[in-house]
Amino acid sequence: MKKKEEISYRKLLGISGLGWMFDALDVGMLSFIIAALKVDWNLSVQQMGWIGSVNSIGMAVGAFVFGILADRIGRKNVFIITLLLFSLGSGASAFSTTLFMFLFLRFFVGMGLGGELPVASTLVSESVPAEKRGRVVILLESFWAIGWIVSALISYFIIPKYGWEKALLLVMIPALYALYLRFNLPDSPQFQSVHKKERLSVLQSIKQVWSKQYIRPTTMLWIVWFCVVFSYYGMFLWLPSVMLMKGFSLIKSFKYVLIMTLAQLPGYFTAAWLVEKIGRKFVLVTYLIGTGLSAYFFGSAESLTLLLLAGMFLSFFNLGAWGALYAYTPEQYPTVIRGTGSGMAASFGRIGGIFGPLLVPYLEAQHISIISIFTIFCIAIFIGALAVLLLGKETKKVELI
């Protein structure tokens, strides 16, 4: 029986994780495509910033809409819809001939991506026993690192030689995979146990998330999600471009970012181990502090060695923190509002993802140094860590209701 359960967990993790990997593939590739579009379309730094921000606007809308929808029609159905939306949108954006057309399609890609991430983590959280839940959700998140590594490889080998359009067409593969999901992925047993009459209306769900009972975890999640997303998209979407600003060629920038990206996997795996041994709260706070310090040293690095080292620590701690956050978020709410609560927190966080990518070019245009810009991200991360430390409660091995 135990062996059979482990096989089903692995199947769930594999199916959900591949969807997660494709999402990361798209987001990771976008950071390289922004750098390539600057050359092809002669974009200003401000225009480059809008590409990342429009993606985040779509993610904010998608997380909110699809999070609520997941509590109405099920986690599985929303997972498939969002995966198809972002896959087809990515493929279509390969045919963009103007910046406006590219931005328009990136909005829909962002919607699919923003909706899929919290819903997938909710689905896995509800399908795994309490003693394994945190570890399995972080292992799900580790597929993000694999997607980033694949995106870095594709960007390094494909974009300079064949163009960014060919790279985007490769992301259409998940569209076919999403159809396969429909027949192979069971819905959450906890969602299935909630009778249709017990499901709340949209307005009731939103009110419940901000009710007296849940105001503390909701406040904590909204703060930490905003700070983490603001700094993540501000830093990571600009990594190749920051390397260019520091004087490296496009090819060398892609290669160095690929090296930094490899550090994401041990970040996830250590977080996955610690989250069940010590707890979600400890891991989240510790890894956020590590992220903040790494961001500061990355911005201030002058030698290539220090730059690569700080970049690797930044990847290690930041993605480990992301894993802990995705494990921690669904555990704050009961089944009837879990999708709504997780989606709303992620949606508010994506507002930070709108401002983060815009902040870099704006400050750069004001001749603000890279070290000062990354210090801002460092402070934001510390605020998020403080919110978890003061408002968060440990949820290790707590049974979901």
On the question of pLDDT at 315 being above 60, the answer is yes
Evaluate if residue 4 carries a pLDDT over 60.
Answer: no
252, pLDDT greater than 70: no
Mean pLDDT of 131-158: 81
Reduce the DSSP state of residue 367 to 3 states and report it.
coil
Maximum average pLDDT range among 32-36, 252-256, 315-319: 315-319
Q: How far apart are CA 57 and CA 64, in angstroms?
A: 11
Give pLDDT, residue 197. Answer: 63
- In terms of average pLDDT, the best of 152-161, 231-240, 386-395 is 386-395
Q: What is the pLDDT of residue 248?
A: 67
CA–centroid distance for 184 within its chain: 24
Neighbouring CB atoms inside 10 A of 335's CB total 20
Position 397 pLDDT exceeds 90: no
Tally of CB atoms within 10 A around 138: 30
Amino acid at 150: V
Q: What is the dihedral of CA 244, 247, 248, 250, to 10 degrees?
A: 40
38 three-state secondary structure = helix
Give the best-scoring range by mean pLDDT among 45-54, 155-164, 279-288.
279-288
Could you tell me the pTM of the whole model? 0.82
Q: Are 340 and 67 in contact (CB under 8 A)?
A: yes
Section 134-159 average pLDDT: 81
Q: Mean pLDDT, to the nearest integer, of 36-60?
A: 83
Would you list the DSSP string of 152-206?
HHHHHHTHHHH-HHHHHHGGGHHHHHHHHHHHH-PPPHHHHHS-GGGPPPHHHHH
Confidence tier at 216 by pLDDT (50, 70, 90): very high
State the pLDDT at residue 288: 97
- What tokens appear for 197 in the block? 């009459």
Is the pLDDT score of 249 beyond 80?
no
For residue range 89-127, list pLDDT tens digits in order. 888 988 988 899 999 999 998 999 888 888 888 888 888
Asked if 284 contacts 327 with a C-beta cutoff of 8 angstroms, the reply is: no
Could you give the count of Cα atoms lying within 13 Å of 19 in the half-sphere of its Cβ?
A: 36
Mind giving me the DSSP string for 254-298? HHHHHHHHTTHHHHHHHHHHHHHHT-HHHHHHHHHHHHHHHHHHH
Distance CA 83, CA 74 (A): 15
Give the confidence band of 1 by pLDDT, cuts at 50, 70, 90.
Answer: very low
Helix axes 2-40, 250-261, angle to 10 degrees: 160
What mean pLDDT do residues 144-163 have?
A: 81
Superfamily of domain 2-179+204-391: MFS general substrate transporter like domains (1.20.1250.20)
Of the listed ranges 58-67, 114-123, 253-262, 332-341, the least confidently predicted one is: 253-262
**pLDDT tens column, 266-284:** 888 888 888 888 888 999 9
Which among 1-15, 127-141, 285-299 has the top mean pLDDT? 285-299
Higher model confidence: residue 28 or residue 115? Answer: 115
* Statement: residue 7 has pLDDT above 50: no
- Average pLDDT over the chain reads 84
Pick the closest to residue 232 from 189, 313, 291 (CA basis): 291
CB-based contact 148:28 (threshold 8 Å): yes
Domain limits, the chain:
2-179+204-391
Contacts for 140 with CB less than 8 Å, ≥ 6 apart: 13, 16, 17, 20, 120, 121, 124, 326
pLDDT top residue among 216 and 184:
216
User: How many other C-beta atoms lie within 10 A of the C-beta of residue 384?
Assistant: 29
292 confidence band (pLDDT: 50, 70, 90): very high
End-to-end CA distance of the chain: 24
Mean pLDDT, to the nearest integer, of 63-77? 89
How many residues does the structure list for the chain? 401
CB within 8 A of 239, min separation 6: which ones?
A: 31, 257, 260, 311
Instruction: Answer yes or no: is pLDDT of 82 > 80.
Output: yes
Task: Tell me phi and psi for residue 50, to 5 degrees.
Answer: -70, -25
pLDDT reported for residue 376: 92
For residue 228, the model assigns a pLDDT of 94
CB 167: neighbour CB atoms within 10 A? 22
Helix (H, G, I), strand (E, B) or coil at 91: helix
Of all helices (H) and strands (E), which one includes residue 247?
Answer: none
Mind listing the pLDDT tens digit for each residue in 162-172? 888 888 887 77
Judged against a pLDDT cut of 90, whether residue 17 lies above it is answered with no
